[in-house]
Chain A
Amino acid sequence: MADFVQQVVSGLATGAIFASLALALVLIYRATDVVNFSQGEMATFATYIAWSLMDRGLSYWPAFALTLVLAFIGGAAIERVVIRPVEHRPEIVIVIVTIGLLILLNGLTGWLWGAEVKAFDSPFPNETWDVGGVAVSVQDIGTLGVCLLTVLALWAFFRFTTLGLVMRAVANNPTASRLVGVRVGWMLALGWGLAAVLGAVAGMMAAPTLFLDPTMMLIVLIYAFAAAVLGGIDSPLGAVVGGLTLGVLLNLLGAYVDFVGSELRLPTALLVLLAVLLIRPQGLFGHAVVRRV
């Protein structure tokens, strides 16, 4: 039983990382109708920046905060410079642009920091706490906490601020937004900036366990895709629920089902992805897509 709880908590922690990145994907999808294949690489890049800051002597939380600011600026800049010129082009063009970004950022990361694996410290001590008789990892709780706090902060932003309202309006109906005077372009950049922040959080929480190298977030991106699709690609709640569910599910499957083991976790997640796409494309909480004639 204790083992089960540990697996669940650990699954929730991994799931929180998936959820953060999945939420970033959903954010961009709702704002700009784009599936950003480079979300993982943007997160990796941000994590490397955090690493550099700490390497130069900055302590963890200041580096964390500064990285979030830089990630925000970077994300917004990418939207303005790379995505804006192709905003109105057919879907395949935009998909390829984000793939180009993926390739570019992956190469840039390797170029600037080298491909050797680097260690990344966790801000949480490597201990366990006794929760009702079960030894729970502090790092897991910390990861879960940070991710959920970020998600909560974002939710509050959208729910209670005027800027958040405007962004929700833009996501719902960009044309009408223009007609009431909203500078839609800047709102889209804002969306990409916030998504980049979410990605940076996911990256920094993942790095201590996955170790920092240019391909660190590629696999996490796939889990995040699976989570986002499971939850519904246009549902923020779905991204969070999907991420947590996927994390726990994979952990339990990996621990208790021999056939899956630790090697087939990725294909299992992909099976989930494919199953959802084929059986219920709108996921758990998303809206059915109407085929435009």
Chain B
Amino acid sequence: MTDHLLTSIDERWRSTVDGGGRLLAWSTGGRLLVVGADGHTIVDEPHKTTEPMTPDPVDAAWIGEGRVVIADAVLGAVFAGSGPSENNDVLGASRVKSVDGHTVLGGDDVVALFDAARHTSSPRVVGTGIGPCHTLDHIGGSQWAVGGTRGLIVLDAEAGTVEARVDLDGVRASTAAATARRFVVADLGGVLHVLDLDHITPGIELHGSAEPVRHLAVGAAGDLVVAAAQEDLSWWRLDAVGHPTHEPEWVAAHDEPVTALAMGASDLVASGDAGGTVRIWSPLMIDYPVASLALDDEIVAVAWRPGGTTLAVASMSGSVVVCDVTAGALA
């Protein structure tokens, strides 16, 4: 049986990206892209570095296992890796993800859709009507959820059409449990909205945070949501409809504000703070972290390898750590 009490962290490697860390992106197959604040990158291993690829990177994703796309505030969508490097102007490029050959990039009141044949040519551009994009999630099949300043849309990337729309003020964080058809967003005021992806409505509101929620994570089953606001983590356990089964549990998780959050396999949660501390949390015992890691500066990103237990962490000073997190087990 699993007992997260005995969880351990083993560093694989530690390195530095020039200019300071900014983004981490894993491919489905486990390749790692580290993007620095001034566009330097590390790919897979510490010694595989590149010169700056973009001036102001905002988000990054792998396209398959051989190519990457970076959303850049100045250049738009920048494609690199195997094949020619290209960029496409997309106004206000801010979020990008790629799944099964479809690359979706959120911009200012638009979404740009690149399919496998269009990665080096003009994308299809769809108007969103929700203002600048702040969140982007793949929610299954060809469906994507896009959050912006004026609301949320569900987009069919195959058809290039907006299938549903919800007015919300200031969507700033989101997380999706696609197989559970559950989607959670946080607005500027600190309210969480739990949405059913098959029946898009404003959803169930979860109140309780006096501070704006900046980071969200949801378990694969959709029944556990973790929200970070300032130094605290709140744990919400939800029923099949999306209502909390209990009052949320609040934990003073860090001494400094939480600056990064991600949930991995086994529902282990990694949180990083402004002081450079990374903590691993278990839903089985949320009062204390089950493991910790120290970097030298504010944590800017934490990312679990998809389906795995390898964690990548980047700090503002440029430190990058890749480690294996092994959940404890009792016989």
Mutual binders A and B = no
